[in-house]
Amino acid sequence: MPQQWLQELDQALDDQFARIVEVRRWLHAHPEPSGHEFHTSRYLAQLLAHDGFSLRQGPQGRGLICEGGGGQQLTPLALRADIDGLRIHDGKQVSYCSQNPGVMHACGHDAHAAIVYGTMSALRALEARHCLPWPIRYRVIFQPAEETCEGAQQMIAAGALQDVSAILALHVDPTLRVGQIGLRRGVLTANCDEMWITIRGRGGHAARPHEASDPIAAAAQLINALYLHIPRVTDSQEAVVVTIGQMQGGDNANVIPEEAQLRGTIRTLDRTVRGTTIDHVRRLAYGVGETTLTKIQVDFRLGSHSVCNDSRMIDVLHWSGVSALGTGAIHEISRPSMGSEDFAYYLEQVPGALMRLGSASADRGTAALHTPYFDVDEAALRVGARVLARAVVRWFDPEFQQTANAPAGSVVPGSTGGSTT
């Protein structure tokens, strides 16, 4: 494969790097929580329309679907970037600190959107200079509501995957250094189900608990039972994580309330284990309700399945990572994460893969995801765009497309020992 386009691509990204950082910092300073990404969507729409991209809005004015590439006869490759923030107060002292109290980009979605924007811009620049080795066509999905596991399904319903051949995405990773990418074939993340538990008792005076059926006490027993017994009824070689993240009940210190609510998640890697764990939760809730004279209702609401990376899409990312960063930059992820990603919904429709992008350095980016001090070393933005842009071009390599249609198990260039130029 000619190397000239690779040099031109890297130069284009170098030329645009300041703009990519500017986009990331604007997004970081103006985060919006899941379901409210209206200003974020308008900002990106204005930016992309100014650059000449064809685009349409997602449902209810949140999210965008953008088209790029001159190969109109081709089936597009999709790139997904999530855009929602989290209800966490930004604790950093930086110039781009969140201006929306109680909301911040604590999961790197601002970086994801900026990286994909940079990828699009660089590819467009190469097309304008006639530097691409063959025609390409891509579709970018700027997706809202990833954190609530709603956005992917909304964008799919809006036609984001119509006529798409495959899809790629990335996620920043503060456990990896800038210049590294993490890849894993097969299961990458956990199934995640959200629990809503309502405990109804009989209220009363705090001085006379024997006259009441205390839902707070029942909630405490249920949390303890879940944490103690779920591991005891699950095969120790299976991964299950049950977490209660929210507890509400009562308005006064001296009143036993009528009702309490719990919210939490169940995370599993195996779908059979997922089903049996849900059954165990219901059984424990029934038992606690019987012993505390309360009524406990357990509802399992919207969640996501595991992200299962397609092997040949990992081949594309592997080739791209080696081409951009060298063989030493590839971190083989040894086991799945118990985190979840609604990117899994796209993978139920088309083949695809999600890669981890190192975002930490000695100076910045070591704080954990979903914490008030989360940040990224912005050098990672250039790295992510270099890998994704290469992946788009690689996908349309006629030689790769021939091998992509080969039987499973055949050697695909770029996976092990393939060409890197």
Query: What pLDDT, on the 0 to 100 scale, is given for residue 421?
Result: 35
Q: Are 164 and 78 in contact (CB under 8 A)?
A: yes
The answer to whether residues 285 and 172 belong to one domain is no
The residue written with tokens 């949390």 in the block is: 223
Q: According to the model, what pLDDT value does residue 3 have?
A: 79
Residue 219: CATH number of its domain = 3.30.70.360
Q: Residues 10, 148: one domain?
A: yes
Residues 195, 169 share a domain: no
Closest of 84, 71, 79 to residue 33, by C-alpha: 84
Range of the domain at 256: 191-304
Q: Would 413 be classed as within a structural domain?
A: no
Residue whose C-alpha is closest to residue 329's, from 309, 354, 357 = 357
Decide: 12 and 98 in contact? Cβ < 8 Å.
no
317, two tokens = 């990312």
Residues of the chain with pLDDT under 50: 1, 408-421
CB atoms within 10 A of CB 102: 13
Question: Are 176 and 74 contained in the same domain?
Answer: yes
Q: Alpha-carbon torsion 288, 290, 291, 293, what sign?
A: positive
Same domain, 153 and 203: no
* Tens-place pLDDT, residues 302-331: 788 999 999 999 999 999 999 999 999 999
Note the pLDDT of residue 406.
56
Q: Are residues 326 and 287 in the same domain?
A: no
Contact assessment for residue 353 and residue 168, using Cβ atoms and an 8 Å cutoff? yes
Chain-centroid distance, C-alpha 379: 20
